[in-house]
Amino acid sequence: MPADNLPPGAHAASLDKNTGTGTRPGGGVPQRLAQAALRDVPWEIGVAKPDPAIVVENVTRTFGGLTAVSVDHLEVQRGGITGLIGPNGAGKTTLFNLLTGFDQPNTGTWSYNGKPLGKLAPHQVARLGVVRTFQLTKALSRLTVLQNMLLGAQGQRGESFLRALVPGTWRAQEKANTEKAMDLLRRFKLDAKKDEFAGTLSGGQRKLLEMARALMSDPQVVMLDEPMAGVNPALTQSLLGHVKDLREEGMTVIFVEHDMDVVRDISDWVVVMAAGRVIAEGPPESISQNQAVVDAYLGAHHDAPLTVEEEDQVLAQAGAAIAQEEHGGGEVLGTDSTTGRTER
């Protein structure tokens, strides 16, 4: 792996900065637990984690001739924030769908806390404490914000057909759930909107609502599919804070994101996918220097800033090409200069 040019102990400044936000009581301490646990883990694909919550084994999913996901081995550390990144079409969402039972794999197994999840339906996965949000936000438009929240609560007695007819059996539980929902809504600053239809909320508020609704089920693992997509920068900061809060409450967070600043800011560990495979994993600071990642994102023939030597090399090549062109061989220019750069 070409990712070893930073010692594992060298933390990016952004990560240390996070622990100093200080607005949340006790913030930072649990975060360091996950981070410290991952400190001595080598930056290798499929590496074993000290305390894995989710273990994925040989999972493949093909759509016709296209292999959307082909993951040999992947472990997700408990209590940490794992960022899942990769270019469009890398299979991130498909992997999410597989892990949460929304899609069935062609081969492979995965387990959560040692329990195999492979054959479970989505609602069974959710009942085990693994909840997800969706890339395209699924606010339940014609339910009010509060009803959206109450739907997230688990083990509701009034959700059984016969007990629903006897309000006495579920009213007390409903009241407790409503209080819990209002607490969460206050935390996400949606409490003023509780009686509005969710369909009237803005895109960012819907993202907040979806996250808050997922938290109503007291999950242990939260899987967020592009939680920041289409959200303005101010709200992104607030969402980031909420995601960090989840970790501080001891939840395991897996999230898909395209914004590298966000990923660097909050992840304890980053998994990079491209063309269905995991091509790199490691702490966030290891990723940006990883050649496989850079190639996957930008293509092998990208325009990176040049070093002095490279610049000299390119200039020399260009000079040679111009000289050649003057002798009549014009088509050489493009191919020559690009191959020179990718071999650095």
CB nearer another protein, residue 117 or residue 216: 216
Nearer to another protein, 112 or 269 (CB): 112
At 264 the three-state DSSP class reads: helix
CA 119 to chain centre: 23
The single residue among 122, 235, 292, 295 that binds another protein, judged by CB under 8 A, is: 122
Q: What is the DSSP letter of 62?
A: E
Q: Which H helix or E strand runs over 68?
A: strand 66-77
Is there binding between residue 232 and another protein (CB under 8 A)?
A: no
| Sequence letter at residue 251 | M
In the list 126, 181, 221, 274, the residue contacting another protein (rule: CB under 8 A) is: 126
What is the enclosing helix (H) or strand (E) of 112? strand 107-112
Rounded distance between C-alpha atoms, residue 288 and residue 6, angstroms: 11
Q: Is 142 in the site for another protein (CB under 8 A)?
A: yes
Q: Does 133 bind another protein (CB under 8 A)?
A: yes
Q: What are phi and psi of 197, to 5 degrees?
A: -65, 140
Tokens coding 184: 């969460």
For CA atoms 318, 324, 330, 335, give the dihedral sign.
negative
Residue 160 touches another protein, criterion: CB under 8 A: yes
Nearest distance, CB of residue 160 and another protein, angstroms: 7
Applying CB under 8 A, the span of 40-48, 142-150, 237-245, 279-287 interacting with another protein comes to 142-150
Q: How far apart are CA 83 and CA 66, in angstroms?
A: 24
Residue 1 three-state SS = coil
Closer residue to another protein (CB): 148 or 290: 148
Question: Exposed, middle or buried: residue 290 (CB in 10 Å: 0-12, 13-18, 19+)?
Answer: buried
Tell me the C-alpha to C-alpha distance, in Å, between residue 185 and each of 214, 248, 267. 12, 18, 25
Task: Determine which helix (DSSP H) or strand (DSSP E) holds 279, and give its type and residue range.
Answer: strand 277-282
Minimum CB distance to another protein smaller for 158 or for 340 = 158
CB 289 to another protein: min, Å: 36
Q: How far apart are CA 98 and CA 110, in angstroms?
A: 9
49, 78, 132, 247: which one binds another protein (CB under 8 A): 132
Q: How many residues contact another protein, by CB under 8 A?
A: 42
Closer Cβ to another protein, 32 or 138, answer by number: 138
Residue 184, judged by CB atoms within 10 A of its CB (0-12, 13-18, 19+), counts as buried
Residue of 35, 82, 100, 205 that binds another protein (CB under 8 A): 100
Mark residues 192-211: x for contact with another protein by CB under 8 A, - for none: -----x-xx---------x-
Q: Is 229 in the site for another protein (CB under 8 A)?
A: no
Does residue 156 bind another protein (CB under 8 A)? yes
Residue selected from 1, 19, 39, 102 as contacting another protein according to rule CB under 8 A:
102
Q: Contact between 323 and another protein (CB under 8 A)?
A: no
203 three-state secondary structure: helix
Is the Cβ of residue 17 or residue 171 nearer to another protein in the bound state? Answer: 171
**Closer to another protein by Cβ: residue 35 or 148:** 148
Interaction site with another protein (CB under 8 A)? 100, 102, 121-123, 126-127, 131-134, 138-143, 147-148, 150-152, 154, 156-161, 164-165, 167, 170, 174, 197, 199-200, 210, 213-214, 216-217
